[in-house]
Amino acid sequence: MTSSVAIVEVGPRDGFQSMRSVLPTATKTEIIRSLYQAGVRRIETTSFVSERAVPQLADATEIVAFSAQFPELDAQVLVPTARHAQRALAAGADHLCAVLSVSESHNRGNVRRSPMESVEDYRQMVETMPAGTAMRLNVATAFDCPNAGRVPERAVLELLDHLVAVTSDAEIALCDTTGKADPAQVTALFEAVKKRFPQVRNWAFHGHDTYGLGTANVYAAWRAGIDVFDASVAGLGGCPFAPGATGNVATEDVVWMFESMGVRTGIDIEALVQASHVICELPDSQTGGRVRDALSARAKRAVAA
């Protein structure tokens, strides 16, 4: 296991896109600033998608420009297709995050393509990527699909055969889209991919807390040697194409767990909790996680005492 981990804050993308209302750009940028000030150095800041389908992220170009001002901030942007990747690059993004699903039905729900068609699209994205651009690949429904149920390990490995053949330089995140992965499954899948694809140097885990296993699964992935974890401040977000799958694992809970174990995250938990309070006050925000409330109760007692 590693003595430090990288947290990728996905709230500004995964969280904001799930809200019913469209947040003002100024609200988003203040939240990104407060996350940066809390020590967060990787943020999925936005996504280049159809503005009609996801009006919540129509200000992606402004968000990319805003995020470029922070030293050492690694700002990745989600791009569902090669066409949207070109838009992101034109806006100045230098870290793209491709996404496709192992499950056919889930991938069609997201981008109206089969997984193999998305592999071809990913190949095109990688081939036309300018030098100096970093790539992250999100493999959604790597554990469970809202339509098809538990996803067999074999299906993930076979899709990865094609994806790793495109490039082994991308950071690959295995995503528990529904939150139904369990720690034994997380351990088994990461052990399997690390064994089968030794040429891939960077793996990540994207987990949800829908069924209360958010931190347990992160812990299991870390035990399997993973050191990059997606999480969302205040547990915001989910997948709009996976009904009920609200609840990314809360960044506060993940940071709390790692720091308690003596594993460095670089994030100041008190400052992060302050930032999370702003999120909780947003309209329509469905929040999760426990540390925020626990630390706030403690702070209130301290004031009262």
Which positions are annotated as active-site residues? 239
Q: Report the distance separating Cα 167 and Cα 49, nearest Å.
A: 23
The correct pick among 112, 264, 277, 298 for binding a copy of itself (CB under 8 A) is 298
Tell the smallest beta-carbon distance from residue 294 to a copy of itself (Å). Answer: 5
Residue 260 interacting with a copy of itself (CB under 8 A): yes
Residue 108 interacting with a copy of itself (CB under 8 A): no
Burial class (CB in 10 A: 0-12, 13-18, 19+), 242: buried
Q: Are 95 and 129 in contact (CB under 8 A)?
A: no
- End-to-end CA distance of the chain, in Å? 40
Residue 229 interacting with a copy of itself (CB under 8 A): no
Helix (H) or strand (E) holding 11: none
Tell the smallest beta-carbon distance from residue 242 to a copy of itself (Å). Answer: 12
Site for a copy of itself in 197-216 (CB under 8 A): 209-216
Q: Which is nearer to a copy of itself, 262 or 283 (CB)?
A: 262
Closest CA to 155 of 147, 145, 146, 165: 145
The correct pick among 79, 85, 253, 272 for binding a copy of itself (CB under 8 A) is 253
Residue recorded with tokens 């949207």? 84
Residue 262 interacting with a copy of itself (CB under 8 A): yes
Strand 144-145 versus strand 149-150 pairing type: antiparallel
Tell the smallest beta-carbon distance from residue 159 to a copy of itself (Å). Answer: 23
Residue 139 interacting with a copy of itself (CB under 8 A): no
Q: How many residues bind a copy of itself (CB under 8 A)?
A: 36
The correct pick among 13, 42, 180, 206 for binding a copy of itself (CB under 8 A) is 180
Q: Spell out the alpha helix ranges (H) of 98-213.
A: 104-111, 115-127, 153-166, 183-196
Closest CA to 96 of 116, 123, 112, 75: 75
Residue 185 interacting with a copy of itself (CB under 8 A): yes
Q: Which is nearer to a copy of itself, 133 or 187 (CB)?
A: 187
Residue 256 interacting with a copy of itself (CB under 8 A): yes
Q: Report the distance separating Cα 168 and Cα 201, nearest Å.
A: 8
Q: Which is nearer to a copy of itself, 80 or 289 (CB)?
A: 289
Q: Which stretch binds a copy of itself (CB under 8 A): 4-12, 124-132, 168-176, 245-253?
A: 245-253
Q: Report the distance separating Cα 22 and Cα 139, nearest Å.
A: 27
Burial class (CB in 10 A: 0-12, 13-18, 19+), 228: buried
Q: Can you give the binding site for a copy of itself, defined by CB under 8 A?
A: 179-180, 182-185, 209-216, 218-220, 243-244, 247, 250, 252-253, 256-257, 260-262, 288-291, 294, 297-298, 301
